[in-house]
Amino acid sequence: MIRDALLACGVAMSYAVRLTIPGLPVGYSELCLTLWILLSIGRVLAGGRLEVTPALAQLARFWLLLTLALSVGAITGYLTTVLVFDPLIHDTIAYLLLVFITCLTAAEPDAGRHLRRTAWWIIAFANAGFVVQLGLGWGWIHQSGVDPWYWDRFSGWSDNPNQLALYCALFGPLALHLATTTSNPWGRYFGLCSLVLTFFVGRLTKSDTYLYTTILTCLILLGLRVRAWLTAAGGKVSLSRQLALLFTVGFLPLAISMTPYALSEVASAEDFAKSLTKDKGGQATAETAELRLYLWDEALDKGERSGSLGLGPGPHLDRPPVVNQQFLPRPFEAHSTILDLYTQGGLISVLALVWMLASAALCAWRAKQDALLALVVSIAVFSVPHLIIRHPIVWFSLTICLVAGTPRAIPATVRQRRY
């Protein structure tokens, strides 16, 4: 129970980089995750049991591939360019921390139960943190050295609003998964109520990516629930299911026939869409898009010049012509998970990440857990315009999907044949 709570605190509060411990070079999240790793290793050294699960094997293969790609990239970067060692060491430590977290959680006896209990703790810590941060944002609570607003965008304890938006985008599907799979009515109520608070905080960040991610995951969840409802009765056919099936089949020609009428409303629909984005689709949105396109072009150029081998962990881009306060001094990151991995570990690391996301989605599909599948979709969408691979919540989410869709442990006879 204590280890689950420590892991949950570390994962849930990883975005709270401005919530530091006085006198220590680490924050509460790093401290909790380090303590959890030490306790987990101590349990093993004291005779605790580990299980070789398919999820563990899959995670181990991914991390071995990524380590190989980053090592080759680091050698290439050392031979062809000037490396900045501080971010290189920072990224290496972050990846090492994630290796321990994912592999140790997947190797826990009864990993599914532990992950589920940890997920409940994560939602509890997340909601408590949101309440405190909203109090700071509205002036009800005061904390020295913390300004919860980035201009008109809410950032709370995070370094920038996009970090907080990422966690809101993943807390939502995770809470929905817990609420829809529990038999406890109070747990279901708590999970559904947390969705409201999470969505409210996410919209305060004014993150366009959060808005697009939420809309897409809601549409996917709706489609999955309709599919599940249509197939729930097995061989029985009812009038309501026949009507729903008829509407589904006729939706495409109906949509085509409505196209002339829809085109006449394009202008108003476009205005409505812009009203939902930050700055209502104005200068701020245009500047962000321009900056991202510049960084992505530079990342592709850097990756190609390295022979698609990468340049090792850490950022490798030059200072963009438009200096924005949310970005750190040189070197810069591409702010895209795929492109940042391309500059770090080349094509191998990108393919490894795509394989991991596809595996997690397939596991969630096999387990018939619609909310977990939406969780993977949220990760995939958010990874396009943001670098999210170093965030523990991302890897906790992928691990819970892998464990949910695979058997508990590899049989001993199979292990002997494989290993």
Beta strands in 336-412 (DSSP E): none
10-34 residue pLDDT tens: 999 999 888 887 777 778 888 899 9
86-118 residue pLDDT tens: 888 888 999 999 999 999 999 988 888 999 999
355-390 residue pLDDT tens: 999 999 999 998 888 899 999 999 999 998 889 999
Beta strands in 158-265 (DSSP E): none
Has residue 416 got a pLDDT over 70? no
Residue 400 contacts by C-beta under 8 Å, 6 or more apart in sequence?
115, 116, 119, 174, 372
Has residue 226 got a pLDDT over 80? no
pLDDT computed for residue 275 by the predictor: 46
CA-wise closest residue to 168 among 207, 127, 211, 198: 198
pLDDT computed for residue 303 by the predictor: 85
For the CA atoms of 169, 58, 11, 213, the dihedral, rounded to the nearest 10 degrees, stands at -10
pLDDT computed for residue 265 by the predictor: 43
Has residue 407 got a pLDDT over 80? no
pLDDT computed for residue 361 by the predictor: 93
Question: Confidence band (pLDDT; 50, 70, 90) for 301?
Answer: confident
Rounded CA gap, 335 and 291, in Å?
10
Region for 77 from its dihedrals, namely left if φ exceeds 0, alpha if ψ lies in -120 to 50, beta otherwise: alpha
Quick one: tokens of 175? 């809470």
Has residue 299 got a pLDDT over 90? no
Helix (H, G, I), strand (E, B) or coil at 316: coil
Beta bridge partners of 317: 332
Question: Confidence band (pLDDT; 50, 70, 90) for 244?
Answer: low
Count other C-beta atoms under 10 Å from residue 392's C-beta: 22
pLDDT computed for residue 150 by the predictor: 86
Lowest mean pLDDT among 152-156, 199-203, 413-417: 413-417
Quick one: tokens of 264? 């006449």
Question: Confidence band (pLDDT; 50, 70, 90) for 266?
Answer: very low
332 versus 7: the higher-pLDDT residue is: 7
Rounded CA gap, 220 and 294, in Å?
31
Has residue 332 got a pLDDT over 80? no
416 versus 395: the higher-pLDDT residue is: 395
167 versus 334: the higher-pLDDT residue is: 167
Rounded CA gap, 93 and 101, in Å?
12
What's this model's pTM, rounded to 2 decimal places? 0.85
Quick one: tokens of 273? 């869409």
Give the angle 291-293-299 at the CA atoms, nearest 5°. Answer: 105
Rounded CA gap, 71 and 66, in Å?
8
60 versus 85: the higher-pLDDT residue is: 60
Has residue 273 got a pLDDT over 60? no
Has residue 236 got a pLDDT over 50? yes
pLDDT computed for residue 134 by the predictor: 94
75-86 residue pLDDT tens: 998 888 877 788
pLDDT computed for residue 44 by the predictor: 87
CA diameter of the chain = 71
Most confident of 196-205, 222-231, 292-301, 329-338: 196-205
pLDDT computed for residue 326 by the predictor: 47
CA-wise closest residue to 11 among 120, 143, 131, 146: 120
